[in-house]
A and B are shown apart, each in its own frame.
Chain A
Amino acid sequence: MRYLAAKTAGEAAAALAAEPGLTRILAGGTDVLVQLKSGLVEPALIVDIKQIPGIAEIVAEDGGYRIGAAVPNAVLGEHAGVVAMWPGVVEGANLIGSTQVQGRCTMVGNLCNGSPAGDAVPGLIAANAVARIVGPNGQRDLPVADIPTGPGKTSLAKGEVITSVFLPARPARASDAYLRFIPRTEMDIAVASAAVSLELNADDTVKAARVVLGAVAPTVIVAEEAGRICVGSKLDEATLARMAAACEAVAKPIDDKRGTVAFRTKTAGTLAKRAALTAYTRAGGTK
């Protein structure tokens, strides 16, 4: 196993592209190191990206924020600007692991690990976040929603490295929220999760809504219909019930040791309702 601490994103991409064997990128390492230790993967090359200039920084851009791929989630959680604009994204990222894990783990690592239960991913997708990718053939931007393709799989090509994610600007009366269900209160993996991002009209009715579900399908999924149902309402009980039903309709979970199909389906809807109410209140809505 070789280890490379890349000095530029280009160097990282080139090294990853040139390696015929299995590769891993080392951001916080909170997935990679665990997988190495348990013998789950035996990569030929590990490329550490943390020394790439700027990759651990958060910068304001076009009214939104560009978050470097190696920004630890603990640092993200202390950034007043991001917290104020995208509280739901931050709350998802900050639910990961424990204080110790927070000091290392990254949203991009969470995304690229490819788990449908990753806590940072639904919030990013609800926010319409866009990833910046450097590959052997240059740079491109891709919506975060298009990155996960299945458990442990992403649409990134060989040699591609995400350098940052961009959280766009948003109007004043807008906010988001994320909730996950775990059987304990911490140190667990989401059995179902939901992120909701809302924009309100002046009369407190919902202008736009994006509802995203985690851990109920092979990838994080956008519940388009659930979002549409919220629009025009003040999230009254009848609307929320229809919204939850729409979430249940698109949930395609599996039965496993962490939860049953019935439980995950029902809980995804319940969490979406609750997250929507939190986002609504955060956006300044009153009923």
Chain B
Amino acid sequence: MAFDEYQKREFKQVGKRVRRPDGVDKVTGRAMYGADATAPGMLWARILRSPHAHARIRSIDTSAAMALKGVRAVLTGADLPDQEDVFIRDVQNNCMAKDKVLYDGHAVAAVAAVDIATAKAALKLIKVDYEILPHVTDVDKAMAPGAPVVLDGRSLESVPAGMSANVTEHAEFGHGDLGAGFAKADMVLERSYKTPTAHQGYIEPHAALASVTSDGKAELWCCTQGQFYVRTLCAAIMGMEASQLRVTASEIGGGFGGKTTVFIEPVALALARKAGRPVKLVMNRDEVFRATGPTVHSSMDVKIGMTKDGRITAAEAKLRYSGGAFPSGTHSFGAQAAFAAYDLAAVRSYSWNVLTNRPKEAAYRAPGAPQAIYAVEATIDELCQHFGLDPLDVRLKNAARKGTKSSYGPTFPDIGLVATLEAAKAHPHYSAPLEPGQGRGISCGFWFNFGGNSCVSLNINTDGTVGVTEGNPDIGGSRASISLMAAEELGIDYDRVRTIVADTSSLGYNDVTDGSRVTFAVGLATIKAARDAVRVMCERAAKIWGIDADAVEWKDGAAVPAGPNAGKFPPMTLAEIAAVSFETGGPIAGHHEVNVDGAGVSFGVHIVDIEVDKETGATKVLRYTVFQDAGKAVHPSYVEGQMQGGAVQGIGWALNEEYIYGEDGRLQNPTFLDYRVPVASDLPMIDTVILEIPNPGHPYGVRGVGETGIVPPLAAITNAVCRSAGVRMHELPMSPPRVLKALSA
């Protein structure tokens, strides 16, 4: 790993709370979101979805729909190729079922017509003959012998023999002697937990506009977290070369991981190809809930041994995750993250992925970690209560630090957990008195963070301004942060830099906006692209001065002679060099392409105060404080926004959000009315404390901050609710009926 990038420096731009570049467009309604794209002659598409959780498609009769006036194309799975690559086949079958429907809402056909009303009318004319199959939507039931098999033959070799065919993957992490560890404990606590499927709940539904010409070129405008990955998947499904498919990412109304793959994009392209006209396809909210990528749901067992003074002697977790109807690797993130916060001599985590008749999960902020860490942190809290120990002291006593061999293998470099815990302990929130009946909960959280492939072009304009071209949709303020880092490195003001997100034909491959990678990895590429441009500018100055390029250095936004021997020349600013660039060798640009390593892990600690209404089971969040290590907060307001947003989403998950399936396997609450995300009046202001323990893997010390924030709330809320209610609960969400039931038990 690259742990030598960081150099201490005085920041001039980075760290300022500058004006956000997308603000005016967004508040005035000018911003172009997915559904805002239009094209001449455009058709409107709608998708027919399965009302069954599990059924074989005997036949689909589209003739009546095709015959309807105004219908230009009808698509079914039969129109799409048989894919050899198993992964691509899964992605394609998830977008359009071929022989079986695997969940309520699974797409079975699509229509493109001259208007939406015609497309809707045509859907009603499509006759699908289903052979209904037994279904299973619960992870434990799907794992049991004799459970309905969602997809056969998908178990990897890692899965122990004799398990249900629904178990597709298994992973195991850890070290040390568990038996010896548990023997040293004064108490060994074993608990089982369940978490529901949650949805990212982004405001903007998926939307795509596709155009395919008769000579095989295609354009796709869509709302995504990664236009390059969309191109990879769509090109494979459509049998196209990457160069022939240009994907442009729209402004994005939230993603949180849910827009890291495709759902409707290949359907829009296939319809556009069939119809010979541009096709627009926009999901409604019901479709978003039923047929995009919510989280795994889980069932977990945790066993932790602790001495009476709070030392964890051994810890074990068994995680059963269901990523829905197709194989998913998220379980292993859970297994790796479960005990990452602790320095343990004996630790083991096991995980399984299980198929169920639910939509295939997609990423959601720190995918897999909130569930596992919820189970671990709630168990630790119960042990703290048992021994009468301060929960922060216990975390401090066991905290991982520099040099700790982590529970998932690597040895940690500089990490910020101890500093974060100490900040939490010293904060007035932690010592504020509670009223009788109120409870305070804490939890640690962790996320790995990611680097990945990143390309940046940086153009020095002749008027002394700078354009940065990068390839990652801005879901959390990255354009501002990237401009800040470019300005910092070039020594110019933030206002002189504008960053744009390029389409797939304008830049090399960029990984998806995920893994909290963009400010870190694209930021690193931006800094290096700026250094590349600085090198060119120094050369130009050298040429003008008639000295060696080596004898010029860059200082405060200008080229200067490097020391007295280089000669005496007044500094040439970026603007001055840019103004004469056409005479000194042509336009000036810098660029950088890299697969970035060294994403520093990020830890967080949350404290929450809660009061449970003992007569109704209602929960009121009284006070909430987030402590998180950002490495270096490039734009502190955005960092705080990430911390608050993650906390709010985690609070919703802990208290009310859940996918509710009926006996018939249908999703009962595909609306924001009954899938309850917190509303503004539900919550107090979420206070934030940013810690800055530099990441050795980034020139400015930056760590990703986008995901850790959703990890601690599940257990922090649980611990506070249980302390307030005086009774422990082991299943989320802790909705009022559940809390009241626990109180009256």
Contacts from A to B (Cβ < 8 Å): 38-39, 181, 183-189, 191, 257-260, 262-263, 266-267, 270
Contact = CB atoms under 8 A, between A and B. Distances in A.
Contacts of A181: 616, 618, 736
Nearest to A37: B284
B331 to A, nearest CB: 27
Contacts of B656: 183-184
B736 A263 contact: yes
25 contacts: A38-B286, A183-B618, A183-B655, A183-B656, A183-B676, A183-B735, A183-B736, A184-B678, A184-B679, A184-B681, A185-B681, A185-B682, A186-B679, A186-B681, A188-B676, A189-B673, A257-B660, A257-B669, A260-B741, A262-B740, A262-B741, A262-B744, A263-B617, A267-B736, A270-B616
Interface string B637-660: 000000000000000000110001
Given A183-B736, A188-B676, A263-B741, 9 more contacts: A39-B120, A181-B616, A181-B736, A184-B656, A185-B679, A185-B681, A187-B679, A188-B673, A257-B660
A270 B660 CA distance: 26
A232 B110 CA distance: 67
Nearest to A269: B615
A57 to B, nearest CB: 32
B556 interface: no
A173 to B, nearest CB: 28
Contact of A257 (B615, B655, B674, B682): B674
Interface residues of B, number: 24
Contacts of B669: 257
B506 interface: no
A185 B741 CA distance: 21
Contacts of A258: 674
Interface in B678-725: 678-679, 681-682
B659 to A, nearest CB: 10
Closest 9 A/B residue pairs (Cβ): A263-B737, A185-B681, A270-B615, A257-B660, A257-B668, A260-B737, A185-B682, A183-B656, A257-B669
Given A186-B681, A257-B669, A266 B676 contact: no
A260 B660 CA distance: 13
Which of A39, A184, A188, A189 gathers the greatest number of chain B CB atoms within 10 Å? Answer: A184
A267 B674 contact: no
Contacts, number: 53
Contacts of B668: 257
A188 B617 CA distance: 17
B673 to A, nearest CB: 7
A181 B735 CA distance: 12
Which of B120, B656, B736, B741 gathers the greatest number of chain A CB atoms within 10 Å? Answer: B736
B678 to A, nearest CB: 7
Contacts of B679: 184-187
Contacts of A187: 673, 679
B199 to A, nearest CB: 15
A184 B737 contact: no
Contact of B676 (A184, A263, A267): A184
A121 to B, nearest CB: 19
Interface string B246-270: 0000000000000000000000000
A184 B615 CA distance: 16
Interface string B609-625: 00000011110000000
Interface in B99-132: 120
B682 A267 contact: no
Contacts of B660: 257
B270 to A, nearest CB: 25
A164 to B, nearest CB: 30
A183 B617 CA distance: 9
A262 B740 CA distance: 9
A12 B406 CA distance: 74
Contacts of A186: 679, 681
